[in-house]
Structure 1
Amino acid sequence: MDALHYIILTFILLIATVTDLRERRIPNKLTYPAMLLALCWHYVMTGADGLVFASIGLAAGFGTMLIPFLMGYMGAGDVKLMAVAGAFLGPAGALKAFLFTSLVGGVYAVAVVAWRSPLTTMLASAMKDSKGLLAGAGTWVQNLQGRSQGVPQLAYGAAIAAGTIISVISDYGMNAFVPVWWA
Protein backbone atom coordinates (compact mmCIF):
# COMPACT_ATOMS: atom_id res chain seq x y z
CA MET A 1 0.00 0.00 0.00
CA ASP A 2 1.03 3.57 -0.56
CA ALA A 3 2.66 5.54 2.26
CA LEU A 4 0.15 8.35 1.73
CA HIS A 5 -2.53 5.86 2.76
CA TYR A 6 -0.84 5.34 6.15
CA ILE A 7 -0.07 9.02 6.60
CA ILE A 8 -3.75 9.90 6.10
CA LEU A 9 -4.82 7.17 8.54
CA THR A 10 -2.27 8.42 11.11
CA PHE A 11 -3.51 11.99 10.71
CA ILE A 12 -7.12 10.85 11.29
CA LEU A 13 -6.06 8.84 14.35
CA LEU A 14 -4.17 11.80 15.80
CA ILE A 15 -7.16 14.13 15.34
CA ALA A 16 -9.37 11.54 17.05
CA THR A 17 -6.89 11.21 19.92
CA VAL A 18 -6.70 14.94 20.54
CA THR A 19 -10.48 15.27 20.34
CA ASP A 20 -11.02 12.31 22.65
CA LEU A 21 -8.53 13.59 25.21
CA ARG A 22 -10.04 17.10 25.19
CA GLU A 23 -13.75 16.38 24.84
CA ARG A 24 -14.04 12.68 25.79
CA ARG A 25 -15.68 11.94 22.45
CA ILE A 26 -14.78 11.13 18.87
CA PRO A 27 -17.13 13.04 16.58
CA ASN A 28 -19.12 11.56 13.72
CA LYS A 29 -17.94 14.41 11.51
CA LEU A 30 -14.50 12.77 11.69
CA THR A 31 -15.33 9.06 11.60
CA TYR A 32 -17.98 8.92 8.86
CA PRO A 33 -16.00 10.93 6.28
CA ALA A 34 -12.90 8.88 7.18
CA MET A 35 -14.80 5.64 6.52
CA LEU A 36 -16.00 7.00 3.19
CA LEU A 37 -12.49 8.16 2.32
CA ALA A 38 -11.04 4.70 3.02
CA LEU A 39 -13.71 2.97 0.94
CA CYS A 40 -13.22 5.39 -1.96
CA TRP A 41 -9.43 5.17 -1.67
CA HIS A 42 -9.43 1.40 -2.02
CA TYR A 43 -12.00 1.53 -4.83
CA VAL A 44 -9.96 4.06 -6.82
CA MET A 45 -6.69 2.19 -6.24
CA THR A 46 -7.84 -1.39 -6.91
CA GLY A 47 -11.41 -1.28 -8.13
CA ALA A 48 -14.23 -3.45 -6.82
CA ASP A 49 -11.79 -5.80 -5.07
CA GLY A 50 -10.45 -2.84 -3.09
CA LEU A 51 -13.96 -1.79 -2.13
CA VAL A 52 -14.70 -5.31 -0.89
CA PHE A 53 -11.37 -5.38 0.98
CA ALA A 54 -12.12 -2.06 2.70
CA SER A 55 -15.74 -3.01 3.44
CA ILE A 56 -14.77 -6.28 5.09
CA GLY A 57 -12.05 -4.44 7.01
CA LEU A 58 -14.58 -1.85 8.16
CA ALA A 59 -16.90 -4.62 9.35
CA ALA A 60 -14.02 -6.41 11.11
CA GLY A 61 -12.91 -3.23 12.89
CA PHE A 62 -16.49 -2.47 13.88
CA GLY A 63 -17.09 -6.04 15.02
CA THR A 64 -14.02 -6.20 17.25
CA MET A 65 -15.29 -3.30 19.36
CA LEU A 66 -19.01 -4.06 19.24
CA ILE A 67 -19.19 -6.39 22.26
CA PRO A 68 -17.14 -4.07 24.53
CA PHE A 69 -19.45 -1.24 23.40
CA LEU A 70 -22.60 -3.24 24.14
CA MET A 71 -21.19 -4.09 27.57
CA GLY A 72 -20.63 -0.38 28.25
CA TYR A 73 -16.83 -0.42 28.20
CA MET A 74 -16.40 1.60 24.99
CA GLY A 75 -18.07 4.60 23.48
CA ALA A 76 -19.65 4.59 20.04
CA GLY A 77 -16.87 6.85 18.74
CA ASP A 78 -14.30 4.22 19.72
CA VAL A 79 -16.19 1.58 17.74
CA LYS A 80 -16.39 3.83 14.70
CA LEU A 81 -12.71 4.78 14.95
CA MET A 82 -11.71 1.12 14.96
CA ALA A 83 -13.99 0.65 11.94
CA VAL A 84 -12.08 3.47 10.21
CA ALA A 85 -8.80 1.69 10.94
CA GLY A 86 -10.28 -1.52 9.56
CA ALA A 87 -11.47 0.21 6.40
CA PHE A 88 -7.96 1.50 5.76
CA LEU A 89 -6.11 -1.69 6.77
CA GLY A 90 -8.47 -4.44 5.61
CA PRO A 91 -9.75 -7.41 7.62
CA ALA A 92 -6.41 -8.90 8.72
CA GLY A 93 -5.03 -5.45 9.48
CA ALA A 94 -8.13 -4.61 11.52
CA LEU A 95 -7.70 -7.72 13.66
CA LYS A 96 -3.99 -7.09 14.17
CA ALA A 97 -4.65 -3.43 15.03
CA PHE A 98 -7.30 -4.56 17.51
CA LEU A 99 -4.83 -6.91 19.21
CA PHE A 100 -2.23 -4.15 19.57
CA THR A 101 -4.95 -1.73 20.67
CA SER A 102 -6.03 -4.17 23.37
CA LEU A 103 -2.45 -4.44 24.64
CA VAL A 104 -1.94 -0.68 24.63
CA GLY A 105 -5.38 -0.17 26.17
CA GLY A 106 -4.57 -2.60 28.97
CA VAL A 107 -1.34 -0.81 29.81
CA TYR A 108 -3.17 2.53 29.59
CA ALA A 109 -5.94 1.32 31.92
CA VAL A 110 -3.45 0.00 34.49
CA ALA A 111 -1.55 3.31 34.36
CA VAL A 112 -4.74 5.33 34.89
CA VAL A 113 -5.84 3.13 37.80
CA ALA A 114 -2.35 3.31 39.34
CA TRP A 115 -2.28 7.09 38.90
CA ARG A 116 -5.65 7.46 40.60
CA SER A 117 -4.94 4.93 43.35
CA PRO A 118 -5.11 5.94 47.01
CA LEU A 119 -1.47 4.96 47.49
CA THR A 120 -0.34 7.26 44.69
CA THR A 121 -2.45 10.07 46.13
CA MET A 122 -1.02 9.49 49.60
CA LEU A 123 2.58 9.40 48.36
CA ALA A 124 2.09 12.55 46.31
CA SER A 125 0.54 14.31 49.31
CA ALA A 126 3.35 13.13 51.58
CA MET A 127 5.99 14.36 49.18
CA LYS A 128 4.35 17.80 48.89
CA ASP A 129 3.62 18.12 52.56
CA SER A 130 6.56 19.33 54.64
CA LYS A 131 5.16 17.55 57.71
CA GLY A 132 5.94 14.16 56.19
CA LEU A 133 4.18 10.88 55.74
CA LEU A 134 1.82 11.11 58.74
CA ALA A 135 0.26 14.32 57.45
CA GLY A 136 0.07 12.71 54.01
CA ALA A 137 -1.87 9.81 55.50
CA GLY A 138 -4.52 12.23 56.74
CA THR A 139 -4.87 13.65 53.24
CA TRP A 140 -5.05 10.10 51.89
CA VAL A 141 -8.01 9.28 54.18
CA GLN A 142 -9.78 12.49 53.11
CA ASN A 143 -9.22 11.63 49.46
CA LEU A 144 -10.62 8.14 50.00
CA GLN A 145 -13.76 9.56 51.58
CA GLY A 146 -14.38 12.06 48.77
CA ARG A 147 -13.48 9.66 45.98
CA SER A 148 -16.12 8.52 43.49
CA GLN A 149 -16.50 4.76 43.29
CA GLY A 150 -16.88 4.73 39.48
CA VAL A 151 -14.52 3.25 36.96
CA PRO A 152 -11.99 5.76 35.60
CA GLN A 153 -12.90 7.21 32.22
CA LEU A 154 -10.38 6.38 29.50
CA ALA A 155 -9.90 8.27 26.28
CA TYR A 156 -9.66 4.99 24.37
CA GLY A 157 -9.14 6.78 21.06
CA ALA A 158 -5.52 7.21 22.15
CA ALA A 159 -5.16 3.45 22.61
CA ILE A 160 -6.76 2.80 19.22
CA ALA A 161 -4.38 5.26 17.56
CA ALA A 162 -1.30 3.84 19.27
CA GLY A 163 -2.31 0.22 18.66
CA THR A 164 -3.07 0.85 15.00
CA ILE A 165 0.17 2.73 14.37
CA ILE A 166 2.18 0.03 16.18
CA SER A 167 0.42 -2.57 14.04
CA VAL A 168 1.38 -0.80 10.81
CA ILE A 169 4.98 -0.33 11.98
CA SER A 170 5.20 -4.00 13.01
CA ASP A 171 4.23 -5.00 9.47
CA TYR A 172 6.11 -2.46 7.37
CA GLY A 173 8.48 -0.58 9.65
CA MET A 174 8.80 3.17 9.38
CA ASN A 175 8.99 2.77 5.60
CA ALA A 176 5.21 2.56 5.61
CA PHE A 177 5.19 6.32 6.16
CA VAL A 178 7.77 7.24 3.50
CA PRO A 179 6.29 8.01 0.08
CA VAL A 180 7.90 6.24 -2.86
CA TRP A 181 8.84 9.56 -4.48
CA TRP A 182 10.59 10.61 -1.24
CA ALA A 183 12.88 7.57 -0.92
Structure 2
Amino acid sequence: MITLFMVKSFILAVALGTALYFDIRYCRIKNSVTYPAAVGGFLINFAEYGTPGLLFALKGWLIPVLALFVFYYINVMGAGDIKLFAAIGAIMGVSFVMYCFLFSVYIGGIIACGLLIRRKQFMYRMKMVCGYAKTVFLTGGLFPYGIKGDNNSKFIFTAAIVPGTIVNWVLLYLNF
Protein backbone atom coordinates (compact mmCIF):
# COMPACT_ATOMS: atom_id res chain seq x y z
CA MET A 1 0.00 0.00 0.00
CA ILE A 2 1.33 3.41 -0.95
CA THR A 3 0.96 5.95 1.84
CA LEU A 4 0.96 9.70 1.40
CA PHE A 5 4.23 9.82 3.38
CA MET A 6 5.77 7.66 0.66
CA VAL A 7 4.40 9.98 -2.04
CA LYS A 8 5.84 13.00 -0.18
CA SER A 9 9.15 11.18 0.15
CA PHE A 10 9.16 10.41 -3.58
CA ILE A 11 8.44 14.05 -4.52
CA LEU A 12 11.16 15.13 -2.10
CA ALA A 13 13.70 12.65 -3.51
CA VAL A 14 13.02 13.66 -7.12
CA ALA A 15 13.27 17.38 -6.25
CA LEU A 16 16.53 16.90 -4.33
CA GLY A 17 18.13 14.72 -6.98
CA THR A 18 17.15 17.06 -9.80
CA ALA A 19 18.24 20.16 -7.89
CA LEU A 20 21.62 18.58 -7.12
CA TYR A 21 22.11 17.68 -10.78
CA PHE A 22 21.33 21.21 -11.99
CA ASP A 23 23.39 22.87 -9.26
CA ILE A 24 26.44 20.74 -10.07
CA ARG A 25 25.99 21.02 -13.82
CA TYR A 26 24.90 24.67 -14.19
CA CYS A 27 25.64 26.22 -10.75
CA ARG A 28 21.97 27.07 -10.30
CA ILE A 29 18.74 25.40 -9.34
CA LYS A 30 16.07 26.00 -11.93
CA ASN A 31 12.57 27.15 -11.08
CA SER A 32 11.34 24.20 -13.17
CA VAL A 33 12.63 22.02 -10.31
CA THR A 34 11.54 23.94 -7.23
CA TYR A 35 8.12 25.19 -8.31
CA PRO A 36 6.65 21.81 -9.36
CA ALA A 37 7.99 20.29 -6.11
CA ALA A 38 6.30 23.06 -4.10
CA VAL A 39 3.05 22.63 -6.04
CA GLY A 40 3.28 18.88 -5.40
CA GLY A 41 3.65 19.66 -1.69
CA PHE A 42 0.59 21.89 -1.74
CA LEU A 43 -1.47 19.28 -3.58
CA ILE A 44 -0.45 16.28 -1.48
CA ASN A 45 -1.02 18.15 1.78
CA PHE A 46 -4.39 19.41 0.54
CA ALA A 47 -5.33 15.84 -0.47
CA GLU A 48 -4.28 14.57 2.94
CA TYR A 49 -5.76 17.23 5.23
CA GLY A 50 -7.91 19.57 3.15
CA THR A 51 -7.69 23.30 3.88
CA PRO A 52 -5.51 22.81 7.00
CA GLY A 53 -3.09 20.85 4.79
CA LEU A 54 -2.99 23.76 2.37
CA LEU A 55 -2.14 26.12 5.24
CA PHE A 56 0.48 23.61 6.47
CA ALA A 57 2.12 23.68 3.03
CA LEU A 58 1.84 27.47 2.77
CA LYS A 59 3.58 27.96 6.12
CA GLY A 60 6.18 25.38 5.12
CA TRP A 61 6.85 27.29 1.92
CA LEU A 62 6.63 30.86 3.22
CA ILE A 63 8.64 30.67 6.44
CA PRO A 64 11.89 29.47 4.80
CA VAL A 65 11.57 32.21 2.16
CA LEU A 66 11.17 34.90 4.82
CA ALA A 67 13.69 33.45 7.27
CA LEU A 68 16.43 32.80 4.71
CA PHE A 69 16.06 35.96 2.64
CA VAL A 70 18.73 37.68 4.73
CA PHE A 71 21.25 35.03 3.59
CA TYR A 72 20.41 35.84 -0.02
CA TYR A 73 20.69 39.56 0.71
CA ILE A 74 24.19 39.24 2.16
CA ASN A 75 25.24 36.99 -0.72
CA VAL A 76 25.92 33.77 1.19
CA MET A 77 23.02 31.73 -0.22
CA GLY A 78 21.52 31.60 -3.68
CA ALA A 79 17.87 32.15 -4.49
CA GLY A 80 17.63 28.60 -5.83
CA ASP A 81 18.75 27.20 -2.47
CA ILE A 82 16.08 29.22 -0.70
CA LYS A 83 13.41 28.09 -3.18
CA LEU A 84 14.54 24.49 -2.66
CA PHE A 85 14.13 24.88 1.10
CA ALA A 86 10.70 26.43 0.44
CA ALA A 87 9.71 23.44 -1.69
CA ILE A 88 10.92 21.07 1.04
CA GLY A 89 8.80 23.03 3.50
CA ALA A 90 5.73 22.87 1.25
CA ILE A 91 6.10 19.11 1.04
CA MET A 92 7.09 18.23 4.62
CA GLY A 93 6.25 21.27 6.76
CA VAL A 94 7.98 24.04 8.72
CA SER A 95 9.62 22.03 11.47
CA PHE A 96 10.99 19.49 8.98
CA VAL A 97 12.52 22.15 6.74
CA MET A 98 14.05 24.07 9.65
CA TYR A 99 15.78 20.91 10.87
CA CYS A 100 16.89 20.30 7.27
CA PHE A 101 18.40 23.77 7.25
CA LEU A 102 20.27 23.15 10.52
CA PHE A 103 21.63 19.78 9.36
CA SER A 104 22.54 21.30 5.98
CA VAL A 105 24.44 24.19 7.56
CA TYR A 106 26.34 21.77 9.78
CA ILE A 107 27.21 19.44 6.88
CA GLY A 108 27.97 22.41 4.62
CA GLY A 109 30.32 23.83 7.24
CA ILE A 110 32.24 20.57 7.37
CA ILE A 111 32.46 20.41 3.57
CA ALA A 112 33.48 24.08 3.30
CA CYS A 113 36.17 23.76 5.97
CA GLY A 114 37.54 20.70 4.20
CA LEU A 115 37.63 22.54 0.87
CA LEU A 116 39.26 25.61 2.40
CA ILE A 117 41.92 23.51 4.11
CA ARG A 118 42.57 21.60 0.90
CA ARG A 119 42.88 24.86 -1.06
CA LYS A 120 45.06 26.35 1.70
CA GLN A 121 42.60 29.25 2.12
CA PHE A 122 41.20 28.47 5.56
CA MET A 123 42.99 31.21 7.52
CA TYR A 124 42.44 33.80 4.78
CA ARG A 125 38.69 33.10 4.73
CA MET A 126 38.44 33.12 8.53
CA LYS A 127 40.06 36.57 8.54
CA MET A 128 37.53 37.72 5.92
CA VAL A 129 34.62 36.39 8.00
CA CYS A 130 35.95 38.05 11.16
CA GLY A 131 36.44 41.33 9.30
CA TYR A 132 32.92 41.13 7.92
CA ALA A 133 31.46 40.36 11.37
CA LYS A 134 33.43 43.25 12.90
CA THR A 135 32.19 45.69 10.24
CA VAL A 136 28.58 44.53 10.67
CA PHE A 137 28.88 44.90 14.43
CA LEU A 138 30.48 48.37 14.28
CA THR A 139 28.20 49.79 11.59
CA GLY A 140 25.03 48.01 12.67
CA GLY A 141 24.16 47.30 9.05
CA LEU A 142 24.12 44.32 6.74
CA PHE A 143 25.74 44.38 3.34
CA PRO A 144 26.77 41.74 0.80
CA TYR A 145 29.59 39.46 1.91
CA GLY A 146 32.55 38.64 -0.29
CA ILE A 147 34.07 40.06 -3.39
CA LYS A 148 31.83 40.50 -6.42
CA GLY A 149 32.81 38.08 -9.17
CA ASP A 150 34.93 35.92 -6.85
CA ASN A 151 34.08 32.47 -8.19
CA ASN A 152 36.60 30.77 -5.88
CA SER A 153 34.24 31.34 -2.97
CA LYS A 154 31.26 29.70 -4.71
CA PHE A 155 29.90 26.66 -2.91
CA ILE A 156 27.28 24.28 -4.26
CA PHE A 157 25.12 24.31 -1.16
CA THR A 158 22.82 21.66 -2.59
CA ALA A 159 25.68 19.25 -1.84
CA ALA A 160 24.87 19.96 1.83
CA ILE A 161 21.09 20.34 1.48
CA VAL A 162 20.69 16.82 0.09
CA PRO A 163 22.51 14.97 2.90
CA GLY A 164 21.02 17.33 5.51
CA THR A 165 17.53 16.49 4.28
CA ILE A 166 18.31 12.78 4.11
CA VAL A 167 19.57 12.80 7.70
CA ASN A 168 16.41 14.60 8.82
CA TRP A 169 14.16 12.27 6.80
CA VAL A 170 15.83 9.18 8.30
CA LEU A 171 15.42 10.59 11.81
CA LEU A 172 11.75 11.34 11.10
CA TYR A 173 11.15 7.95 9.49
CA LEU A 174 12.77 6.15 12.41
CA ASN A 175 10.77 8.36 14.83
CA PHE A 176 13.71 9.82 16.73
TM-score category of the 2 structures, normalised to the smaller one: 0.7 to 0.9
Partner of 1:84: 87
Q: Is the 8 A contact 1:60 1:95 kept in 2?
A: no
Tell me which amino acid in the other structure corresponds to 1:21: I
Partner of 1:156: 157
Tell me which amino acid in the other structure corresponds to 1:161: V
Segments of 5+ residues of structure 1 without an aligned counterpart are 120-147, 176-183
**In 2, Cα distance between equivalents of 1:62 and 1:118:** 31
Among all aligned residue pairs of Structure 1 and Structure 2, give the percentage whose two residues are the same amino acid.
Answer: 31
Q: Is the 8 A contact 1:65 1:82 kept in 2?
A: no
CA offset digits 1:128-165 (Å, max 9, x no partner):
xxxxxxxxxxxxxxxxxxxx976521111121121111
Q: Is the 8 A contact 1:64 1:95 kept in 2?
A: no
> What's the secondary structure of 2:77's corresponding residue?
coil
- TM-score normalised by length of structure 2: 0.76
Give matches, 1:1-183, under 5 Å. 2-117=5-120, 151-173=152-174
Deviation larger for 74-83 or 64-73: 64-73
Tell me which amino acid in the other structure corresponds to 1:104: I
Tell me which amino acid in the other structure corresponds to 2:23: D
1:64/1:111 CA distance change after superposition, 3 Å: farther
> What's the secondary structure of 2:93's corresponding residue?
helix
Partner of 1:127: none
> What's the secondary structure of 1:2's corresponding residue?
helix
> What's the secondary structure of 2:92's corresponding residue?
helix
**In 2, Cα distance between equivalents of 1:118 and 1:103:** 19
- 1:115 deviates by 2.3
Detail structure 1 runs of 4+ shifted over 4 Å in the superposition: 148-151
- 1:14 deviates by 1.1
> What's the secondary structure of 2:35's corresponding residue?
helix
**In 2, Cα distance between equivalents of 1:67 and 1:162:** 23
1:165/1:63 CA distance change after superposition, 3 Å: farther
1:54/1:163 CA distance change after superposition, 3 Å: same
Tell me which amino acid in the other structure corresponds to 2:11: I
Tell me which amino acid in the other structure corresponds to 2:76: Y
**In 1, Cα distance between equivalents of 2:121 and 2:58:** 46
Deviation larger for 59-68 or 81-90: 59-68
Higher radius of gyration, 1 or 2: 1
Q: Is the 8 A contact 1:61 1:87 kept in 2?
A: no
- TM-score normalised by length of structure 1: 0.73
Compare relative contact order (CA 8 Å, sep 6+) and give the higher one, 1 or 2: 1
**In 1, Cα distance between equivalents of 2:151 and 2:104:** 23
